[in-house]
Structure 1
Amino acid sequence: MDAVDTQAPVGQVRPGGHAKVIRAALAAGKHVLSEWPLGVDVAEAEDLARAAAAAGVVHVVNLQGHQSPDARYVADLIAAGTIGRLESAVLVAAGDPLGGPRIAPELAWSTDPAAGTSLLTVMAGHFLATLDRMAGRLVEVSASLPRPHDHVEVTGTGGTVPNGVPAQVLLHGVLENGATASVAVHGGSGSPDGFFVKLVGSEGTVTVTQPRPGTYLHWTDWVIRVDGERVRVPDDYRTVPFDPAAGPVANVAAVYQEIARSMAEGRRPHPDFHTAAAHHRVLAAIERAAETGVAAKVR
Protein backbone atom coordinates (compact mmCIF):
# COMPACT_ATOMS: atom_id res chain seq x y z
CA MET A 1 0.00 0.00 0.00
CA ASP A 2 1.26 3.48 -0.81
CA ALA A 3 0.32 5.00 2.51
CA VAL A 4 -2.57 3.01 3.93
CA ASP A 5 -5.46 0.96 2.59
CA THR A 6 -8.85 2.62 2.90
CA GLN A 7 -12.22 0.90 2.53
CA ALA A 8 -11.12 -1.45 -0.18
CA PRO A 9 -12.29 -0.51 -3.68
CA VAL A 10 -12.95 -3.23 -6.22
CA GLY A 11 -9.83 -5.32 -6.77
CA GLN A 12 -8.02 -4.19 -3.62
CA VAL A 13 -7.26 -6.73 -0.91
CA ARG A 14 -6.54 -5.96 2.73
CA PRO A 15 -3.47 -7.60 4.32
CA GLY A 16 -5.63 -10.25 5.99
CA GLY A 17 -6.69 -11.45 2.56
CA HIS A 18 -3.28 -11.37 0.87
CA ALA A 19 -2.34 -14.98 1.61
CA LYS A 20 -5.48 -16.48 0.07
CA VAL A 21 -5.17 -14.48 -3.13
CA ILE A 22 -1.42 -15.02 -3.43
CA ARG A 23 -1.68 -18.78 -2.92
CA ALA A 24 -4.38 -18.99 -5.59
CA ALA A 25 -2.16 -17.06 -8.01
CA LEU A 26 0.85 -19.25 -7.23
CA ALA A 27 -1.22 -22.40 -7.76
CA ALA A 28 -2.13 -21.06 -11.19
CA GLY A 29 1.53 -20.41 -12.03
CA LYS A 30 1.10 -16.63 -12.09
CA HIS A 31 3.71 -14.02 -11.27
CA VAL A 32 2.70 -12.00 -8.18
CA LEU A 33 3.16 -8.41 -7.05
CA SER A 34 1.88 -7.96 -3.49
CA GLU A 35 1.29 -4.75 -1.61
CA TRP A 36 3.07 -4.33 1.72
CA PRO A 37 2.68 -5.92 4.24
CA LEU A 38 3.02 -9.30 2.58
CA GLY A 39 1.11 -11.09 5.36
CA VAL A 40 -0.48 -10.45 8.71
CA ASP A 41 2.60 -11.69 10.58
CA VAL A 42 6.09 -13.09 10.09
CA ALA A 43 4.97 -16.74 9.96
CA GLU A 44 2.54 -16.06 7.14
CA ALA A 45 5.10 -13.98 5.24
CA GLU A 46 7.75 -16.69 5.51
CA ASP A 47 5.25 -19.32 4.35
CA LEU A 48 4.33 -17.22 1.32
CA ALA A 49 7.99 -16.68 0.47
CA ARG A 50 8.61 -20.44 0.54
CA ALA A 51 5.51 -21.10 -1.55
CA ALA A 52 6.50 -18.48 -4.14
CA ALA A 53 10.00 -19.93 -4.42
CA ALA A 54 8.59 -23.44 -4.87
CA ALA A 55 6.19 -22.18 -7.57
CA GLY A 56 9.09 -20.88 -9.64
CA VAL A 57 7.36 -17.61 -10.50
CA VAL A 58 8.40 -13.97 -10.21
CA HIS A 59 7.32 -12.57 -6.84
CA VAL A 60 7.65 -8.97 -5.71
CA VAL A 61 6.46 -6.87 -2.76
CA ASN A 62 5.69 -3.18 -3.13
CA LEU A 63 8.13 -1.77 -0.59
CA GLN A 64 8.62 1.13 -2.97
CA GLY A 65 11.13 2.93 -0.75
CA HIS A 66 13.67 0.40 -2.04
CA GLN A 67 13.18 1.90 -5.52
CA SER A 68 13.28 5.54 -4.40
CA PRO A 69 15.93 7.41 -6.41
CA ASP A 70 16.57 9.54 -3.32
CA ALA A 71 17.16 6.50 -1.09
CA ARG A 72 19.41 4.87 -3.71
CA TYR A 73 21.43 8.08 -4.05
CA VAL A 74 21.87 8.46 -0.29
CA ALA A 75 22.86 4.78 -0.07
CA ASP A 76 25.53 5.43 -2.71
CA LEU A 77 26.78 8.49 -0.81
CA ILE A 78 27.19 6.35 2.30
CA ALA A 79 28.81 3.48 0.40
CA ALA A 80 31.26 5.87 -1.28
CA GLY A 81 32.47 7.10 2.10
CA THR A 82 31.20 10.65 1.55
CA ILE A 83 30.70 11.05 5.32
CA GLY A 84 33.29 8.48 6.35
CA ARG A 85 32.21 5.42 8.29
CA LEU A 86 28.53 5.49 9.22
CA GLU A 87 28.18 5.70 12.99
CA SER A 88 24.53 6.52 13.69
CA ALA A 89 21.16 6.86 12.00
CA VAL A 90 18.22 8.86 13.36
CA LEU A 91 14.72 8.68 11.88
CA VAL A 92 11.69 10.68 13.06
CA ALA A 93 8.47 10.52 11.05
CA ALA A 94 4.73 11.03 11.20
CA GLY A 95 2.56 8.00 10.52
CA ASP A 96 -0.82 9.66 10.02
CA PRO A 97 -3.61 8.66 9.54
CA LEU A 98 -2.82 5.63 11.72
CA GLY A 99 -2.10 5.57 15.45
CA GLY A 100 -3.98 8.66 16.58
CA PRO A 101 -6.87 9.16 19.02
CA ARG A 102 -9.27 9.25 16.07
CA ILE A 103 -9.63 7.04 13.01
CA ALA A 104 -11.51 7.55 9.75
CA PRO A 105 -14.57 5.29 9.34
CA GLU A 106 -13.03 3.55 6.34
CA LEU A 107 -10.02 2.59 8.49
CA ALA A 108 -11.84 1.57 11.67
CA TRP A 109 -11.06 -2.10 10.94
CA SER A 110 -7.32 -1.38 11.31
CA THR A 111 -7.53 -1.00 15.11
CA ASP A 112 -7.66 -4.81 15.37
CA PRO A 113 -4.06 -6.18 15.47
CA ALA A 114 -5.19 -9.29 13.56
CA ALA A 115 -5.97 -7.09 10.55
CA GLY A 116 -2.26 -6.63 9.86
CA THR A 117 -2.51 -2.88 9.29
CA SER A 118 -1.10 -0.59 11.99
CA LEU A 119 1.34 2.22 12.61
CA LEU A 120 4.02 -0.45 13.11
CA THR A 121 3.30 -2.75 10.19
CA VAL A 122 2.46 -0.18 7.53
CA MET A 123 3.93 3.22 8.26
CA ALA A 124 6.95 2.21 10.33
CA GLY A 125 7.30 -0.80 8.03
CA HIS A 126 7.70 1.42 4.97
CA PHE A 127 9.93 3.92 6.77
CA LEU A 128 12.25 1.25 8.18
CA ALA A 129 12.55 -0.42 4.78
CA THR A 130 13.61 2.92 3.31
CA LEU A 131 16.14 3.40 6.12
CA ASP A 132 17.39 -0.13 5.41
CA ARG A 133 17.94 0.86 1.76
CA MET A 134 20.05 3.83 2.83
CA ALA A 135 21.94 2.68 5.90
CA GLY A 136 21.70 -1.12 6.15
CA ARG A 137 19.48 -3.55 7.98
CA LEU A 138 18.72 -3.73 11.67
CA VAL A 139 20.19 -6.74 13.47
CA GLU A 140 19.19 -5.94 17.08
CA VAL A 141 16.48 -3.74 18.60
CA SER A 142 15.17 -2.42 21.89
CA ALA A 143 11.68 -1.02 21.51
CA SER A 144 8.52 0.42 22.99
CA LEU A 145 5.08 0.43 21.37
CA PRO A 146 2.95 2.80 23.48
CA ARG A 147 -0.81 2.35 23.22
CA PRO A 148 -2.40 5.20 25.18
CA HIS A 149 -5.80 4.81 23.53
CA ASP A 150 -7.90 1.79 24.59
CA HIS A 151 -10.65 3.12 22.34
CA VAL A 152 -10.42 5.56 19.45
CA GLU A 153 -13.05 7.87 18.06
CA VAL A 154 -14.44 7.07 14.63
CA THR A 155 -14.56 10.50 13.04
CA GLY A 156 -17.92 11.84 12.03
CA THR A 157 -19.90 9.06 13.72
CA GLY A 158 -19.89 9.98 17.38
CA GLY A 159 -18.83 6.41 18.19
CA THR A 160 -15.66 4.63 19.22
CA VAL A 161 -14.01 1.29 18.51
CA PRO A 162 -11.69 -0.82 20.69
CA ASN A 163 -8.05 -0.21 19.87
CA GLY A 164 -5.31 -2.82 20.07
CA VAL A 165 -2.57 -1.18 18.00
CA PRO A 166 0.21 1.24 18.99
CA ALA A 167 0.17 5.02 18.74
CA GLN A 168 3.96 5.27 18.57
CA VAL A 169 6.90 3.14 17.49
CA LEU A 170 10.06 3.88 19.45
CA LEU A 171 13.25 1.90 19.02
CA HIS A 172 16.97 1.90 19.45
CA GLY A 173 18.96 -0.61 17.50
CA VAL A 174 22.16 -1.72 15.88
CA LEU A 175 22.65 -1.93 12.12
CA GLU A 176 24.57 -4.70 10.42
CA ASN A 177 27.53 -2.36 9.87
CA GLY A 178 27.74 -1.61 13.60
CA ALA A 179 26.13 1.83 13.46
CA THR A 180 23.39 2.66 15.93
CA ALA A 181 19.83 3.56 14.97
CA SER A 182 17.21 5.62 16.81
CA VAL A 183 13.68 5.69 15.38
CA ALA A 184 10.49 7.45 16.47
CA VAL A 185 7.31 7.12 14.42
CA HIS A 186 4.29 8.88 15.88
CA GLY A 187 0.69 8.41 14.88
CA GLY A 188 -1.97 11.00 14.23
CA SER A 189 -5.34 11.62 12.71
CA GLY A 190 -4.58 13.93 9.81
CA SER A 191 -1.99 14.59 7.14
CA PRO A 192 1.60 13.69 8.07
CA ASP A 193 3.62 16.67 9.27
CA GLY A 194 6.96 15.50 7.99
CA PHE A 195 10.01 13.32 8.44
CA PHE A 196 13.65 13.78 9.32
CA VAL A 197 16.61 11.48 8.80
CA LYS A 198 20.13 12.17 10.04
CA LEU A 199 22.98 9.89 9.08
CA VAL A 200 26.13 10.70 11.01
CA GLY A 201 29.49 9.45 9.82
CA SER A 202 33.01 9.73 11.13
CA GLU A 203 33.67 12.61 8.72
CA GLY A 204 30.33 14.23 8.01
CA THR A 205 26.54 14.16 8.08
CA VAL A 206 23.69 13.57 5.63
CA THR A 207 20.23 14.90 6.45
CA VAL A 208 16.93 14.19 4.71
CA THR A 209 13.72 16.20 5.11
CA GLN A 210 10.35 16.39 3.38
CA PRO A 211 10.00 18.50 0.20
CA ARG A 212 6.47 19.68 1.03
CA PRO A 213 3.72 19.03 3.62
CA GLY A 214 1.77 15.79 3.45
CA THR A 215 4.53 13.54 2.09
CA TYR A 216 6.01 10.30 3.38
CA LEU A 217 9.59 9.06 3.58
CA HIS A 218 9.02 6.14 1.19
CA TRP A 219 7.90 8.54 -1.57
CA THR A 220 10.46 10.67 -3.40
CA ASP A 221 11.83 14.18 -4.11
CA TRP A 222 13.54 14.61 -0.74
CA VAL A 223 15.55 17.60 0.45
CA ILE A 224 19.02 16.09 0.91
CA ARG A 225 21.94 17.90 2.51
CA VAL A 226 25.54 16.83 3.00
CA ASP A 227 27.20 18.77 5.83
CA GLY A 228 24.47 21.39 5.53
CA GLU A 229 24.78 21.93 1.78
CA ARG A 230 21.85 20.83 -0.35
CA VAL A 231 22.63 18.27 -3.04
CA ARG A 232 20.50 17.19 -5.97
CA VAL A 233 19.81 13.62 -6.97
CA PRO A 234 21.49 13.10 -10.37
CA ASP A 235 19.08 12.69 -13.26
CA ASP A 236 20.23 9.15 -14.04
CA TYR A 237 18.80 7.97 -10.68
CA ARG A 238 15.30 8.80 -11.95
CA THR A 239 14.45 5.97 -14.32
CA VAL A 240 10.76 6.85 -14.72
CA PRO A 241 8.99 10.19 -15.37
CA PHE A 242 8.58 12.19 -12.18
CA ASP A 243 5.82 14.56 -11.10
CA PRO A 244 6.32 16.13 -7.64
CA ALA A 245 2.55 16.31 -7.17
CA ALA A 246 2.01 12.61 -7.83
CA GLY A 247 3.07 11.28 -4.43
CA PRO A 248 4.43 7.70 -4.58
CA VAL A 249 3.57 7.10 -8.26
CA ALA A 250 7.15 7.37 -9.51
CA ASN A 251 8.48 4.83 -7.01
CA VAL A 252 5.62 2.42 -7.71
CA ALA A 253 6.33 2.74 -11.45
CA ALA A 254 9.97 1.95 -10.69
CA VAL A 255 8.84 -1.26 -8.96
CA TYR A 256 7.13 -2.37 -12.17
CA GLN A 257 10.22 -1.36 -14.13
CA GLU A 258 12.34 -3.53 -11.82
CA ILE A 259 10.02 -6.47 -12.43
CA ALA A 260 10.36 -6.12 -16.19
CA ARG A 261 14.14 -5.77 -16.02
CA SER A 262 14.56 -8.76 -13.73
CA MET A 263 12.49 -10.94 -16.05
CA ALA A 264 14.48 -9.82 -19.08
CA GLU A 265 17.78 -10.43 -17.26
CA GLY A 266 16.73 -13.76 -15.73
CA ARG A 267 17.31 -12.72 -12.13
CA ARG A 268 15.29 -12.24 -8.96
CA PRO A 269 13.58 -8.86 -8.69
CA HIS A 270 14.10 -6.71 -5.64
CA PRO A 271 12.40 -6.52 -3.22
CA ASP A 272 10.90 -10.00 -3.52
CA PHE A 273 8.92 -12.09 -1.03
CA HIS A 274 12.14 -13.18 0.69
CA THR A 275 13.02 -9.52 1.28
CA ALA A 276 9.49 -8.97 2.60
CA ALA A 277 9.77 -11.94 4.98
CA ALA A 278 13.10 -10.60 6.25
CA HIS A 279 11.47 -7.24 6.87
CA HIS A 280 8.61 -8.92 8.72
CA ARG A 281 11.30 -10.47 10.96
CA VAL A 282 12.48 -6.95 11.83
CA LEU A 283 8.95 -5.98 12.86
CA ALA A 284 8.60 -9.21 14.85
CA ALA A 285 11.82 -8.40 16.71
CA ILE A 286 10.44 -4.94 17.54
CA GLU A 287 7.28 -6.54 18.94
CA ARG A 288 9.31 -9.05 21.00
CA ALA A 289 11.53 -6.32 22.41
CA ALA A 290 8.53 -4.16 23.30
CA GLU A 291 6.74 -7.05 24.99
CA THR A 292 9.70 -8.34 26.98
CA GLY A 293 11.62 -5.15 27.66
CA VAL A 294 14.76 -6.95 26.50
CA ALA A 295 16.80 -6.25 23.37
CA ALA A 296 15.86 -8.68 20.60
CA LYS A 297 18.01 -10.05 17.81
CA VAL A 298 16.50 -9.95 14.33
CA ARG A 299 16.22 -13.60 13.37
Structure 2
Amino acid sequence: MVTQPDIDVVAVTVKAPRHRELVDAALAAGKAVYCEWPLGRDLDDARAMAALAAEQGVRTVVGLQGRQAPAIGFIQELLSDGYVGEVLSTTMVGVSVAGGSVVQANAYMLDETNGANALTIAVGHSLDTLNYVLGEFADLSAASALRRPLMTIEETGEQIMKTAADQIDATDYR
Protein backbone atom coordinates (compact mmCIF):
# COMPACT_ATOMS: atom_id res chain seq x y z
CA MET A 1 0.00 0.00 0.00
CA VAL A 2 2.73 2.50 0.88
CA THR A 3 4.19 2.27 -2.61
CA GLN A 4 0.99 3.42 -4.31
CA PRO A 5 1.59 6.79 -6.00
CA ASP A 6 -1.81 8.23 -5.02
CA ILE A 7 -1.03 7.94 -1.28
CA ASP A 8 0.77 10.95 0.20
CA VAL A 9 0.48 10.37 3.96
CA VAL A 10 0.55 7.19 6.03
CA ALA A 11 -1.04 7.12 9.50
CA VAL A 12 0.47 4.52 11.83
CA THR A 13 -2.03 3.72 14.58
CA VAL A 14 -1.34 0.11 15.49
CA LYS A 15 0.11 -1.35 18.68
CA ALA A 16 3.43 0.34 19.46
CA PRO A 17 5.68 -2.71 18.99
CA ARG A 18 4.86 -2.56 15.24
CA HIS A 19 5.34 1.21 14.81
CA ARG A 20 8.94 1.06 13.59
CA GLU A 21 8.28 -1.61 10.96
CA LEU A 22 5.40 0.38 9.44
CA VAL A 23 6.97 3.82 9.82
CA ASP A 24 10.19 2.61 8.19
CA ALA A 25 8.25 1.15 5.25
CA ALA A 26 6.36 4.39 4.71
CA LEU A 27 9.50 6.53 5.02
CA ALA A 28 11.43 4.27 2.63
CA ALA A 29 8.59 4.80 0.13
CA GLY A 30 8.96 8.58 0.54
CA LYS A 31 5.60 9.07 2.26
CA ALA A 32 4.84 11.62 4.95
CA VAL A 33 4.06 9.87 8.24
CA TYR A 34 1.75 10.51 11.18
CA CYS A 35 2.55 8.08 14.00
CA GLU A 36 0.64 7.89 17.24
CA TRP A 37 2.50 8.07 20.56
CA PRO A 38 4.70 6.34 21.59
CA LEU A 39 6.75 6.64 18.42
CA GLY A 40 8.80 3.51 19.01
CA ARG A 41 9.64 0.88 21.57
CA ASP A 42 12.60 2.88 22.83
CA LEU A 43 14.91 5.80 22.12
CA ASP A 44 16.94 3.77 19.62
CA ASP A 45 13.79 3.11 17.56
CA ALA A 46 12.85 6.79 17.64
CA ARG A 47 16.33 7.92 16.61
CA ALA A 48 16.47 5.42 13.75
CA MET A 49 13.09 6.57 12.42
CA ALA A 50 14.11 10.24 12.72
CA ALA A 51 17.34 9.53 10.84
CA LEU A 52 15.49 7.71 8.07
CA ALA A 53 12.97 10.57 7.77
CA ALA A 54 15.82 13.09 7.48
CA GLU A 55 17.62 10.91 4.94
CA GLN A 56 14.45 10.61 2.85
CA GLY A 57 13.54 14.30 3.28
CA VAL A 58 10.07 13.29 4.45
CA ARG A 59 7.73 15.16 6.81
CA THR A 60 6.70 13.39 9.99
CA VAL A 61 4.58 14.07 13.04
CA VAL A 62 4.04 12.20 16.29
CA GLY A 63 0.49 12.30 17.64
CA LEU A 64 0.58 14.04 21.00
CA GLN A 65 -2.87 15.58 21.10
CA GLY A 66 -2.90 17.03 24.63
CA ARG A 67 -1.59 20.31 23.20
CA GLN A 68 -4.82 20.74 21.26
CA ALA A 69 -7.19 20.61 24.24
CA PRO A 70 -8.90 23.98 24.83
CA ALA A 71 -8.33 23.70 28.60
CA ILE A 72 -4.59 23.28 28.04
CA GLY A 73 -4.53 26.37 25.83
CA PHE A 74 -6.35 28.31 28.54
CA ILE A 75 -3.89 27.16 31.22
CA GLN A 76 -0.96 28.13 29.01
CA GLU A 77 -2.54 31.54 28.45
CA LEU A 78 -3.02 32.08 32.20
CA LEU A 79 0.60 31.17 32.88
CA SER A 80 1.88 33.38 30.06
CA ASP A 81 -0.13 36.28 31.46
CA GLY A 82 1.46 35.77 34.89
CA TYR A 83 -1.83 34.83 36.55
CA VAL A 84 -0.15 32.50 39.04
CA GLY A 85 3.26 34.15 39.13
CA GLU A 86 6.53 32.38 38.43
CA VAL A 87 6.39 28.58 38.34
CA LEU A 88 9.31 27.41 40.49
CA SER A 89 8.79 23.66 40.31
CA THR A 90 6.34 21.09 39.07
CA THR A 91 5.73 17.53 40.21
CA MET A 92 3.74 14.96 38.31
CA VAL A 93 2.93 11.47 39.56
CA GLY A 94 1.71 8.82 37.15
CA VAL A 95 0.20 5.57 38.33
CA SER A 96 -0.99 2.74 36.12
CA VAL A 97 -4.73 2.22 36.39
CA ALA A 98 -4.30 -1.54 35.97
CA GLY A 99 -4.95 -3.56 39.07
CA GLY A 100 -3.89 -7.17 39.25
CA SER A 101 -5.41 -8.31 35.96
CA VAL A 102 -5.40 -7.48 32.27
CA VAL A 103 -7.30 -8.65 29.20
CA GLN A 104 -5.31 -10.87 26.82
CA ALA A 105 -5.31 -8.24 24.05
CA ASN A 106 -3.39 -5.84 26.31
CA ALA A 107 -0.97 -8.35 27.85
CA TYR A 108 1.80 -7.11 25.51
CA MET A 109 1.78 -3.87 27.54
CA LEU A 110 3.18 -5.71 30.56
CA ASP A 111 6.54 -6.27 28.81
CA GLU A 112 8.65 -3.12 28.99
CA THR A 113 10.59 -4.08 25.84
CA ASN A 114 7.42 -3.42 23.82
CA GLY A 115 7.60 0.27 24.77
CA ALA A 116 3.86 0.54 25.26
CA ASN A 117 2.30 0.52 28.68
CA ALA A 118 0.11 2.69 30.82
CA LEU A 119 3.06 4.84 31.82
CA THR A 120 4.80 5.28 28.48
CA ILE A 121 1.51 6.10 26.83
CA ALA A 122 -0.54 8.07 29.37
CA VAL A 123 2.39 9.62 31.23
CA GLY A 124 4.17 10.33 27.94
CA HIS A 125 1.15 12.29 26.73
CA SER A 126 0.93 14.10 30.07
CA LEU A 127 4.64 15.00 30.12
CA ASP A 128 4.42 16.38 26.59
CA THR A 129 1.42 18.49 27.59
CA LEU A 130 3.24 19.70 30.70
CA ASN A 131 6.25 20.71 28.60
CA TYR A 132 3.97 22.44 26.12
CA VAL A 133 2.41 24.53 28.89
CA LEU A 134 5.52 25.26 30.97
CA GLY A 135 8.37 24.87 28.50
CA GLU A 136 11.07 22.22 28.39
CA PHE A 137 12.37 20.75 31.62
CA ALA A 138 15.18 22.73 33.24
CA ASP A 139 16.33 20.32 35.97
CA LEU A 140 14.45 17.03 35.98
CA SER A 141 14.44 14.42 38.71
CA ALA A 142 12.44 11.26 38.02
CA ALA A 143 11.99 7.76 39.35
CA SER A 144 9.87 4.80 38.35
CA ALA A 145 8.78 1.68 40.19
CA LEU A 146 7.19 -1.67 39.52
CA ARG A 147 4.77 -2.28 42.39
CA ARG A 148 2.52 -5.00 40.93
CA PRO A 149 4.79 -7.48 39.16
CA LEU A 150 2.35 -10.41 39.05
CA MET A 151 -0.63 -10.02 36.73
CA THR A 152 -3.52 -12.32 35.82
CA ILE A 153 -4.85 -12.71 32.29
CA GLU A 154 -8.59 -12.21 32.77
CA GLU A 155 -9.79 -14.68 30.15
CA THR A 156 -7.58 -17.59 31.21
CA GLY A 157 -6.54 -16.95 34.81
CA GLU A 158 -2.90 -17.40 33.76
CA GLN A 159 -0.46 -15.49 35.94
CA ILE A 160 2.42 -13.69 34.24
CA MET A 161 5.21 -11.43 35.42
CA LYS A 162 5.12 -7.78 34.41
CA THR A 163 8.38 -5.96 33.64
CA ALA A 164 6.95 -2.52 32.78
CA ALA A 165 6.93 0.07 35.56
CA ASP A 166 3.54 1.02 36.96
CA GLN A 167 4.45 4.20 38.85
CA ILE A 168 6.50 7.26 37.97
CA ASP A 169 7.31 10.49 39.75
CA ALA A 170 8.84 13.43 37.89
CA THR A 171 9.82 16.79 39.37
CA ASP A 172 11.15 19.76 37.43
CA TYR A 173 12.97 22.55 39.25
CA ARG A 174 12.96 25.78 37.27
In the aligned structure 1, how far is the partner of 2:60 from the partner of 2:52? 10
Which portions of structure 1, spanning 4 or more consecutive aligned residues, are displaced by more than 6 angstroms? none
Q: Residue 136 of structure 2 corresponds to which residue in structure 1? A: 137
Q: Residue 167 of structure 1 corresponds to which residue in structure 2? A: 166
Q: Does 1:13 align with 2:8?
A: no
Q: Residue 27 of structure 1 corresponds to which residue in structure 2? A: 28
In the aligned structure 2, how far is the partner of 1:41 from the partner of 1:78? 32
In the aligned structure 1, how far is the partner of 2:85 from the partner of 2:141? 26
Q: Residue 123 of structure 1 corresponds to which residue in structure 2? A: 122
In the aligned structure 2, how far is the partner of 1:55 from the partner of 1:77? 40
In the aligned structure 2, how far is the partner of 1:156 from the partner of 1:51? 40
Mapping of residues 168-187 of structure 1, within 5 Å: 168-174=167-173, 178=174
Q: Is the 8 A contact 1:95 1:119 kept in 2?
A: yes
Q: Residue 40 of structure 1 corresponds to which residue in structure 2? A: 41
In the aligned structure 2, how far is the partner of 1:24 from the partner of 1:42? 19
Matched to 1:91, the amino acid is M
The alignment yields a C-alpha RMSD, in angstroms, of 2.0
Q: 1:168 to 1:130 in 2, by over 3 A?
A: same
SS at structure 1 position matched to 2:123: helix
TM-score under structure 2 length normalisation: 0.83
- The CA deviation at 1:112 is 0.9
Mapping of residues 1-299 of structure 1, within 5 Å: 12-92=13-93, 95-97=96-98, 100-174=99-173, 178=174
Q: Is the 8 A contact 2:95 2:119 kept in 1?
A: no
In the aligned structure 2, how far is the partner of 1:94 from the partner of 1:112? 16
- The CA deviation at 1:34 is 0.1
- The CA deviation at 1:93 is 5.3
More divergent stretch after superposition (87-96 vs 106-115): 87-96
In the aligned structure 2, how far is the partner of 1:105 from the partner of 1:145? 25
Q: Is the 8 A contact 2:95 2:167 kept in 1?
A: no
**Which structure 2 segments of 5+ residues have no match?**
1-11
In the aligned structure 2, how far is the partner of 1:54 from the partner of 1:69? 36
Would you say how many aligned residue pairs link Structure 1 and Structure 2? Answer: 163
Q: Is the 8 A contact 2:104 2:154 kept in 1?
A: yes
Spell out, residue by residue over 1:107-134, the C-alpha distance to the aligned partner (whole angstroms, 9 max, x if none). Answer: 1111111111123311111111111111
- The CA deviation at 1:35 is 0.7
SS at structure 1 position matched to 2:145: coil
Identity %: 31
SS at structure 2 position matched to 1:153: strand
SS at structure 1 position matched to 2:109: helix
Q: 1:101 to 1:82 in 2, by over 3 A?
A: same
- The CA deviation at 1:12 is 4.7
TM-score under structure 1 length normalisation: 0.50
